[in-house]
């Protein structure tokens, strides 16, 4: 374990990775970050996934299979994102359990295009949260005037969101 990142952790700092790629998962890099660098969470957003999907060929086969099933571009995006994020949530689950939910979180942000749409944000948050079905998975909702009541409603509905 890296002594410097462990010291940060022991002082109360939580290191989160602001990146996710299929290669990061497939090559064991994320697992090593968790074990060796005290990384305790991961955040993502549509821009992060757009970059991950657009660089390299690691998503190409999955995209072709999903497109052949007739999924829309948005549907393909969410299938890919949920596949990666649920894998990441599973890797972080021991930290989540050991810390009683303080550490070990993985997040996905709703589309920023919904920042002004309360009802659309609530719908967009509920579906991936339910499909992920992981206690350490949450949905990020923009803190706009329309987003705040969407956060409240989503939490009321049982969707972990912030």
Q: Which of 99, 140, 146, 155 is catalytic?
A: 140
94 pLDDT exceeds 90? yes
Is 7 part of the annotated catalytic residue set? no
Whole-angstrom distance, CA of residue 120 vs CA of residue 80: 21
Quote the pTM value: 0.90
Kindly give the pairing relationship between strand 137-140 and strand 39-44.
Answer: unpaired
E strand map for 63-118: 105-109
**Among the listed residues 112, 102, 105, the one whose alpha carbon sits nearest the alpha carbon of residue 137:** 105
With beta carbons less than 8 A apart as the criterion, state whether 40 and 104 touch: yes
Residue linked to tokens 């920042």: 115
Structure tokens at 113: 């295009």
Structure tokens at 13: 């700092």
Whole-angstrom distance, CA of residue 15 vs CA of residue 41: 7
58-91 pLDDT, tens per residue?
A: 999 999 999 999 999 988 988 999 999 999 999 9
Residue 70's Cβ-count burial label (10 Å; 0-12, 13-18, 19+) is exposed
Task: Name the band, by pLDDT with cuts 50, 70 and 90, for residue 161.
Answer: low
């Amino acid at each position: 374990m890296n002594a410097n990142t462990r010291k940060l952790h022991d002082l109360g700092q939580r290191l989160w990775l602001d990146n996710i790629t299929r290669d990061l998962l497939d090559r064991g890099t994320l697992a090593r970050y968790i074990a060796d660098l005290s990384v305790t969470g991961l955040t993502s957003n549509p821009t992060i996934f757009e970059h991950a999907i657009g660089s390299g060929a690691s998503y190409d086969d999955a995209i072709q299979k999903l497109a052949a099933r007739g999924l829309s571009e948005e549907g393909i995006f969410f299938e890919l994102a949920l596949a990666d994020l649920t894998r990441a949530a599973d890797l972080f689950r021991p930290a989540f359990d050991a810390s009683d939910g303080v550490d070990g979180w993985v997040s996905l942000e709703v589309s920023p295009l919904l920042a002004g749409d309360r009802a659309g944000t609530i719908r967009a948050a509920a579906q991936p949260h339910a499909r992920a079905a992981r206690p350490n998975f949450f949905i990020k909702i923009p803190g706009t005037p329309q987003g705040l009541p969407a956060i409240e409603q989503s939490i009321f509905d049982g969707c972990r969101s912030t």
